[in-house]
């Protein structure tokens, strides 16, 4: 006899609390194998294919593509031990009604005993599922038990699963536990918040806007900020609105926080990169693995951080302490179709230029394919930003919070330069260094940037660090 298992969105790690359904990889009635990916989701860190730890027939899907679902919400139900013929009565032909889940699974006691045999225990590489604790379904007051949860496919994911909280005729439309917790911690009454999501759903941004309004002494019953005259005039014809969620939303939140919290400063210097380019050509002899220019710059960064370790740090604002970090986890900015991401090379100080080149290439390919794991996008300690690929000379970048420093590299271009007392055409690059002024003063920042420029102009200086 088939046993129905409910697979929920697992804890994806790194403090992530929700994800957006990008694409369903299975259909209702389809047979899935253990650990087969069933849905692709986008978190604040990366695109992730979520594998199901059960094998059997998919009996229901929960959530439409584009819907945001919290961790712990149901994704699919799988009839373990069933074959497609077992579900024939549910109707699978054209025009048939949505399939109804197979009747309830065995009692929690029996279910817990079978969990180890029916599931793999794996969900994402490096994370995995938790123990097979019995889950309690939340039932609407006065509603029969069988109506507590229904498949929302193919409709929106914000169906009647959210409990209703009424004040007269006002219903609070909230589905995310995180949103409720934030409101509760700040003493905010959700009945005073106007939701900007679909069908008036209250989003996290609505709650955060209301909290800011209360702190500034304005009325809290404002949803998203409204442009002057927008309420009277309505939407502008032809305007396009792009939701700030997923990778784009996470980046926007991080940029804003960095600007609010970090008193940054930037210094610049021009450097003659002719000798560095010549050294790279000599390294990349036929028959050996190629070393990228970005890898050489990364190697220079690790040597400079070894000389100025106070820059490989962060600020613990709660404890009012500067935290100097032992390992260099080097992030580098990568532009993708989904926006800017910063993959991280772990323990960059222990890698050779050839090893750095190989790891940077691997992470870049994974970033462009949207296959980076959350761990590969987190816990960097220093960032290398090569904006020269866009054909520009300089920039004043925003620090990658909570890091304390970032080296920027502009384009390398032929320019007149005084070399050995004579005017010559040399390959010149502009270097910029942005730093958290709480961590160091201008002397340390200038010393770091000068050492980097010296290594660019005279790569042989790196031999002292070997």
Known catalytic residues are 437
- Bridge partners for 335 per DSSP: 340
> Using CA atoms, how far apart are residues 246 and 263, in angstroms rounded to an integer?
27
Helices (H), 308-352: none
Asked whether the bond before 363 is cis by omega within 30 degrees of 0, the reply is: no
The per-type count for the chain, helices as H runs and strands as E runs, is 9, 20
3-class DSSP assignment, residue 157: coil
* Residue whose tokens read 């929920």: 8
As a whole number of angstroms, the distance between CA 145 and CA 108 comes to: 16
DSSP state of 462: G
| Residues sharing a CB contact under 8 Å with residue 7, sequence separation 6 or more, in sequence order | 38, 52, 53, 54, 74, 75, 76, 77, 78
As to burial, measured by CB atoms within 10 angstroms (0-12 exposed, 13-18 middle, 19+ buried), residue 5 is buried
- For every residue of 352-377, DSSP letters joined together read -HHHHHHHHHHHHHHHHTT---GGGG
Inter-residue long-range contacts of 157-166, CB under 8 Å, 24+ positions, other chains counted: 157/21, 157/62, 157/63, 157/64, 157/67, 157/68, 157/69, 158/67, 158/197, 158/198, 158/199, 158/201, 161/73, 163/138, 164/140, 165/190, 165/191
Yes or no: say if 344 and 330 are a contact pair by the CB < 8 Å rule: yes
Helix (H, G, I), strand (E, B) or coil at 62: coil
445 sits in which H/E element: helix 442-457
Q: Where are the alpha helices (DSSP H) in 246-377?
A: 246-261, 274-283, 293-307, 353-368
How many angstroms separate the CA atoms of 177 and 212, rounded?
A: 20
Q: Is 316 exposed, middle or buried (0-12, 13-18, 19+ CB in 10 A)?
A: exposed
**For residue 173, cis peptide bond before it (omega within 30 degrees of 0):** no
């Amino acid at each position: 006899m088939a046993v129905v298992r409910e697979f929920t969105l697992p804890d994806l790690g790194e403090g992530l609390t929700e994800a957006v359904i990008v694409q369903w990889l299975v259909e209702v009635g389809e047979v899935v194998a253990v650990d087969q990916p069933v849905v692709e989701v986008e978190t604040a860190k990366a695109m992730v294919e979520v594998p199901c730890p059960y094998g059997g027939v998919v009996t229901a899907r929960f959530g439409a593509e584009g819907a945001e679902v919290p961790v712990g919400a149901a994704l699919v139900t799988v009839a373990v031990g069933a074959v497609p013929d077992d579900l024939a009565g549910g109707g699978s032909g054209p025009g048939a009604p949505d399939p109804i889940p197979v009747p309830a699974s065995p009692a929690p006691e029996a279910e817990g005993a079978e969990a180890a045999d029916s599931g793999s225990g794996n969900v994402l590489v490096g994370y995995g599922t938790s123990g097979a604790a019995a889950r309690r379904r939340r039932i609407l007051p006065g509603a029969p038990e069988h109506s507590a949860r229904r498949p929302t496919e193919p409709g929106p994911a914000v169906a009647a699963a959210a409990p209703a909280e009424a004040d007269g005729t006002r219903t609070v439309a909230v589905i995310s536990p995180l949103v409720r917790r934030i409101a509760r911690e700040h003493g905010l009454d959700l009945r005073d918040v106007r939701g900007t999501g679909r069908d008036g759903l209250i989003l996290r941004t609505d709650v955060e806007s209301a909290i800011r309004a209360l702190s500034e002494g304005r009325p809290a019953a404002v949803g998203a900020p409204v442009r002057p005259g927008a309420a009277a005039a309505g939407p502008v014809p032809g305007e396009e609105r792009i939701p700030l969620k997923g990778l784009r939303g996470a980046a926007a939140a991080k940029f804003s926080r960095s600007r609010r919290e970090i008193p940054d400063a930037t210094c610049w210097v021009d450097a003659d990169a002719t000798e560095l380019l010549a050294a790279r050509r000599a390294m990349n002899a036929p028959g050996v693995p190629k070393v990228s220019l970005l890898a050489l710059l990364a190697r220079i960064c690790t040597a400079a951080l070894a000389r100025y370790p106070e820059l490989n740090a962060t600020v613990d604002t709660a404890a009012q302490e500067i935290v100097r970090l032992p390992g260099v986890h080097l992030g580098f900015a990568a532009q993708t179709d989904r926006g800017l991401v910063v993959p991280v090379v772990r323990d960059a100080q222990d890698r050779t230029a050839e090893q750095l080149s190989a790891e940077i290439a691997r992470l870049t390919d994974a970033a462009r394919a949207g296959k980076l794991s959350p761990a590969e996008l987190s816990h960097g300690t220093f960032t290398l930003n090569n904006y020269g690929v866009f054909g520009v000379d300089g920039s004043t970048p925003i620090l990658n919070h909570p890091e304390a420093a970032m080296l920027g590299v502009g384009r390398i271009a032929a320019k007149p330069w005084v070399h050995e007392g004579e005017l010559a055409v040399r390959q010149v690059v502009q270097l910029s260094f942005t730093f958290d002024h709480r961590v160091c003063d201008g002397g340390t920042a200038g010393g770091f940037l000068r050492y980097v420029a010296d290594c660019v102009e005279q790569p042989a200086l790196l031999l002292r660090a070997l």
